[in-house]
Structure 1
């Protein structure tokens, strides 16, 4: 399955770069486990962050950031089979879960619950 890993990016970080990086690391660690289980993991951050930088963003939450960050995850989810929701509170990750359910996709909250590829 192609699985979107959705978790907090900004929530609870105060936009502290080290905390943002830790959240990306947590999503990437989950993605690696999915990959090792035979799935194709994706994160919106992996696609969005380089584009946001190229678009001229100077800080998290500015115009270029807002134009790209959530919309790219929404477009990506349309092509995924499922979502793995990780981490703590996150309005954005919860929106991805709601969108996945509305599209009839599987939603997982635990790596152990994902069937082997």
Structure 2
């Protein structure tokens, strides 16, 4: 089911597993981030702006002196970053896989009345895309 065509490009948060199910293994977290990033191009190609919370949270965490998502400081940065981003996002794309953070993103989006998409195909395309 597709939504009506928006009047402007949407800022779409891509939500899915990042640290969940990795046991803290940095290689598995990197692979999860790559899975999230795989959705970025299709969103962009549809005329929208993709956003992933970790794109913002990880540099913030590093600049605060944190050493990664398992650092104790991460609790003060990772989820709060997503919550703040959702104040600016127009929609969420929830990718498959268990993730407390992604489920929290979806709950916040629904509370705010934002669309939550389960597949790229549900995201409405902009009629004319400037490249």
TM-score, length basis structure 2: 0.85
C-alpha RMSD over aligned residues = 1.0
State the structure with more CA Rg.
Answer: 2
Map Cα deviations across residues 21-46 of structure 1 (whole Å, 9 max, x no partner): 01111111101210111101101000
Is the counterpart of residue 42 in structure 1 residue 46 in structure 2?
no
Which ranges of structure 2 fall in alignment gaps of 5 or more residues?
A: 1-9, 127-131
Higher helix share: 1
| 1:27 counterpart = 2:31 | no
Say whether residues 1:55 and 2:32 are aligned partners. Answer: no
The 5-angstrom pairing of residues 62-101 of structure 1 reads 62-101=71-110
2:119 maps to: 110
Alpha-carbon distance in structure 2 between the residues aligned to 1:69 and 1:32: 23
Q: What TM-score do the two structures reach when normalised by structure 1?
A: 0.95
Flag as ranges the 4+ runs of structure 1 deviating above 6 A: none
